[in-house]
Amino acid sequence: MGMEETAGSAGSGQGGAGSGPAGGQGAAGGDGPAAAGGAGGAAGAAPAAVPATATATAAEDEGREEGEGAQEEEGKQARRKAEKKKRPFWQELPILIGIALVLSLGIKTFFVQAFSIPSGSMQHTLEKDDRVLVDKFTPWFGAEPERGEVVVFKDPGGWLDTVPRVKGNGFVEGIRTALSTVGLLPSDDEKDLIKRVIGVGGDTVECREGSPVKVNGVALDEPYLYPGATPCGDAPVGVVTVPKDHLWVMGDHRNDSRDSRFHVNEPGGGFVPVKNVIGRAFVIAWPLSRWDTLPVPDTFDQKALAAGAGAGAGAGPGALTGTGTGPGTGDGFGGRAGDRPAEPSAPEAAAVAVALPLALLRRRRAKRAGDADG
C-alpha cells in the first residue's frame, strides 16, 4: 500500500508539472496511468549508469599493469640467462687472441705490412732495425711502382746469400710457423729486399764512374745518398734499358748495396719484375724518434724523365745498350756479399691507423698533379 502511494504521489507530481487535465487524470486513475507514472518514478530513483570512458580507462590500467609485470618477468629471465652464459676471463682470453690474430693476418695480407730493416744498404734514409710500413692496398687497384719510391720486393733469384737457419724441436717450430703465418715472425720462405726505384719499364739508366746517375738522359740530384758514397763510381754498368714490367733499383748507400748493378750479368739482367713487388714503403713507424714519411725526392719529378721514357718498352730482360767497366763481385763493401732480407714485423695498430690514409692521400695528390700537367 505504501509503494502504491509513493508511486501515485510520483504520478501526481508529474501531472502537476504538466497541464491541468493531465494532473486530473493522474489523480483519478490510481491503477491505470498513475501506475505507469509510478514506474517512471521508480526508474528515476535507480542508481546512475557508469560512463563508458571510465570503464575503458580501468581496462587500460589493468592491461598496463599486466604488461609491466610481463616485461619485468622477461627481464629477470634475461638476466638469469646472461649470468649463466657469462664466461670467466681465462675463457674469453683465447677468443680475444684469436680475433686479434685474424685481424692481424687480414691487415698484413690486404692493407699494410710492417718490415724490419736488417742492413745498412739504404742508409741514411733507413737505418738498421727501423720498422717501415709497406702499402699493400693500392696495388689491388692497379697502382704500380714509380721512380723514386722505396719498395719491398721478393728476391728475383740469387740476390740474397742466406745461410739456412738451424731448426729447433717440433713444438717450437710449430709455434714459429703459426706466428710467421700471421706476420708476427719472419718466415723462412720469405726472401724480401728493400731498394729505391731508379728506372721503370721503358727507361734508359746511365751509370758511369765519376758521373751522376742519368735516367732518360736526365741527371739525378740525389741528396739522399749516404755521405761519401758515389752515385755509380764504385760499380759502373754503363747504359741499361729497363724492359717492360720491370724495374731498375739501387740502394741509397751505394757503396754498401748489392743492387741491380751487381746482377747485370746474371739471369734477369739485374731487373726486378713488377710482379715481385710487395708494396711501397711509405713511413718509418719505429722507433718513434725516427717517425717520418718516405716521399718521392723532387729530382724524380722532372718532366724530362717521363718525356724520354719508352725506348726500351719492348726489350727483354737483361738488355744492355752499352757497358762500362762493370761491377765487381767481391765483398769489398760489407753488404756487397749479399743483402739481408727485409724481415716482416708485427704491424703496429696505431701506426697503421695513421699511415694508411697518408698513402691514399699521396696517390690522390699524385693523380691530381698528373691531370694538371696534362
Place of cell 700471421: 182
Give the CA angle between residues 119, 125, 127 to the nearest 5°: 35
* Selected catalytic residue, list 119, 195, 260, 345: 195
Strands 192-200 and 238-241: unpaired
Distance of alpha carbon 335 from alpha carbon 258, whole angstroms = 7
Give alpha helix (H) positions in the chain.
2-17, 20-28, 33-44, 52-85, 89-110, 170-181, 303-307, 349-373
Give the active site residue among 119, 121, 257, 260: 121
260 in catalytic set: no
The set of residues, in sequence order, having a beta carbon less than 8 Å from that of 3 and lying 6+ positions away, is none
* Sole residue written with cell 758511369: 208
Going from the C-alpha of 41 to that of each of 16, 20, 21, 47, 50, the distances in angstroms are 14, 20, 20, 13, 20
Q: Which amino acid is at 10?
A: A
Q: Are 35 and 26 in contact (CB under 8 A)?
A: no
Q: Residue 308: how many CB atoms within 10 A of its CB? A: 16
Active site residue 187: no
CA separation (Å) from 28 to 1, 36, 96, 162?
17, 13, 102, 137
User: What does DSSP say about strands 192-200 and 204-207: parallel, antiparallel, or unpaired?
Assistant: unpaired
Residues acting as catalytic residues: 121, 195
